Homo-oligomer: A and B are copies of this chain.
């Protein structure tokens, strides 16, 4: 029998989706599960946008332009003016979700064996996309006790080698909820300029900042040739399944390469682009309401978590995640146990074990990511479950002991 490639075998399963079989079993056994594990908002997609999509009358769903629909790209340009970024049409590519944008960016910046510097913990799929692009991740560790703040520029410079090609940030941060400000970004822009690198910034959570304004790295026009931004309508417009994202760069060589890659896969999904057009058309009021809702949930979750003995957490500044340290030896084991062995009035919860967000997995061994993507009542009920579960969970038992 022919075997798959070594790189295929070496690719990891998604750490977030890995517990799904246990969740399905729990649900099949009649328990209801609070899904705090993934970034799937429960907020409706803009109704006017869905109505627009459903009112179209095209009769042939043709290939569109590889770079995306012109009207949509124009709306992205308009949208970014709010963030003090003046973009030209050539700088904006529509992608199949931010996922594709990550993939295109890594290919355009890096050759096999090149290095990508990323503050950890980071969005788990950066690992997978680096792997399929044959790119090596060099992590710069940040920690919960410091609310995952940006390390000093020296920490990044210490990682730079002849193979370094880019620094990748997620701002606001998934899984940390941290927000890098203007000064943070300028510091890193100076580093990439000095060392002739790219700064790739994943800004998909940019609307969800609760304490201070968001600064887009695209607002620093003088660094445009160093900057690549990844964006998406998935979170902002609660349209995860539409698969519409963006890659934006003022670097002409990057544009040229992305253009060729975009031609190769023909075009982004047509219906998702139609939805996106209407989202941007009608979206400001919708976004402002969503921000208020998430701001409220942040408080609800933070206050409720603070009541749990032995749990370490902080108030995140942005996005809709909270990284939490638990008083357990192995958070992955605890998350599995929640699904296999625990219930409270027929309910349990699903959390994302944090080790998948770390390059050095041990660093996340006692942490979980909690997404506040459910409404207040459900969030509170879920935290009640968590509190009880921590009391009932046999803390002293390590994963190795359980499986023996």
Which A residues lie at the B interface, using CB under 8 A? Answer: 1-9, 11-14, 17, 38, 40-45, 47, 50, 53-56, 58-64, 66, 96-97, 99-100, 103, 107-112, 114, 125, 128-129, 132, 134, 165-166, 192, 196-198, 225-226, 238-243, 251, 253-254, 256-257, 259-261, 263-272, 275
Q: Which residues of B contact A112 (CB under 8 A)?
A: 7, 112, 134
Q: Which residues of B contact A43 (CB under 8 A)?
A: 60
Q: Which residues of B contact A44 (CB under 8 A)?
A: 59-60
- Asked if B59 and A225 sit within 8 Å, CB to CB, the answer is no
Contact of A47 among B4, B59, B107 (CB under 8 A): B59
A108 with B4, Cβ < 8 A, contacts A59-B45, A264-B128, A271-B269 known? yes
Name the distance in Å between A283's Cβ and chain B's nearest Cβ: 14
- Asked if A99 and B54 sit within 8 Å, CB to CB, the answer is no
A242 with B254, Cβ < 8 A, contacts A60-B43, A107-B8, A263-B14 known? no
Q: How far is the CA of A71 from the CA of B13 in the complex (A)?
A: 24
Q: How far is the CA of A260 from the CA of B9 in the complex (A)?
A: 9
A269 with B1, Cβ < 8 A, contacts A8-B108, A17-B66, A111-B7 known? no
Can you list 25 pairs linking A and B with CB atoms under 8 Å apart?
Answer: A1-B196, A2-B109, A4-B109, A4-B257, A5-B107, A5-B109, A5-B165, A7-B107, A8-B257, A14-B264, A17-B66, A40-B62, A53-B54, A54-B56, A62-B240, A96-B265, A96-B269, A97-B266, A125-B264, A128-B260, A128-B264, A241-B267, A243-B268, A269-B272, A271-B271
A243 with B96, Cβ < 8 A, contacts A14-B260, A45-B59 known? yes
Q: How far is the CA of A271 from the CA of B109 in the complex (A)?
A: 32
Closest to A106 in B: B5
- Asked if B61 and A254 sit within 8 Å, CB to CB, the answer is no
Q: Which residues of B contact A165 (CB under 8 A)?
A: 2, 5
For the complex of A and B, 9 pairs with smallest distance between CB atoms: A241-B270, A271-B271, A8-B257, A269-B269, A14-B263, A128-B264, A99-B265, A61-B241, A243-B269
Q: Which residues of B contact A266 (CB under 8 A)?
A: 97, 99, 240, 243
Q: Which residues of B contact A272 (CB under 8 A)?
A: 269-271
Name the distance in Å between A261's Cβ and chain B's nearest Cβ: 7
- Asked if A263 and B5 sit within 8 Å, CB to CB, the answer is no
A111 with B59, Cβ < 8 A, contacts A11-B260, A240-B266 known? no
Q: How far is the CA of A19 from the CA of B173 in the complex (A)?
A: 42
Name the distance in Å between A154's Cβ and chain B's nearest Cβ: 21
- Asked if A108 and B5 sit within 8 Å, CB to CB, the answer is yes
* Most-contacted residue by chain B among A41, A42, A63, A97 (CB, 10 A): A63
Q: How far is the CA of A166 from the CA of B42 in the complex (A)?
A: 44
Contact of A271 among B53, B55, B125, B226 (CB under 8 A): B53
- Asked if A4 and B38 sit within 8 Å, CB to CB, the answer is no
